[in-house]
């Protein structure tokens, strides 16, 4: 089983080839090829390589599929007995990423 741990959009992801991932928004157009270089760990057929902090010899070939808004989150603030109530909604921007291969 081949997998890698990468750092992208401020978070770390365990990724495998030919799988889809939803990450924080990347300001790139859909159907754009992306080369990810921030690889922290690589497991290839049981051989583990750990970067310090990144592996320079490993790249991830990925494709941006689409950008969309996530599910709405309701934020409600209230102070009892003071008639203070605030209701806000928030939808974060997300990106779907498809991993083609680990090189």
Q: Tens digits of per-residue pLDDT, 19-58?
A: 999 999 999 999 999 999 999 999 999 999 999 999 999 9
Flag the least confident range among 1-10, 59-68, 76-85, 87-96: 1-10
According to the model, what pLDDT value does residue 76 have? 97
Mean of all residue pLDDT scores within the chain: 95
State yes or no: pLDDT of 9 exceeds 90. Answer: no
State yes or no: pLDDT of 1 exceeds 80. Answer: no
According to the model, what pLDDT value does residue 39 have? 96
Tell me the average pLDDT across 77-88.
97
Spatial CB neighbours of 58, under 8 Å, sequence gap ≥ 6: 4, 39, 42, 49, 51, 102, 103
> What is the rounded end-to-end Cα distance, in angstroms, of the chain?
14
């Amino acid at each position: 089983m081949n997998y890698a741990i990468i750092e992208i959009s401020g978070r770390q992801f365990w990724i495998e080839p030919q799988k889809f991932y939803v990450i924080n928004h990347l300001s790139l157009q859909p159907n754009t090829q992306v080369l990810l270089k921030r690889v922290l760990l690589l497991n290839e057929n049981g051989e583990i390589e750990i970067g310090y902090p990144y592996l320079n010899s490993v790249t991830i070939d990925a494709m941006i599929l689409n950008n969309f808004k996530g599910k709405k989150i309701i934020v409600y603030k209230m102070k009892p007995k003071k008639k203070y109530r605030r209701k806000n909604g928030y939808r974060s921007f997300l990106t779907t990423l498809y991993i083609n291969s680990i090189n």
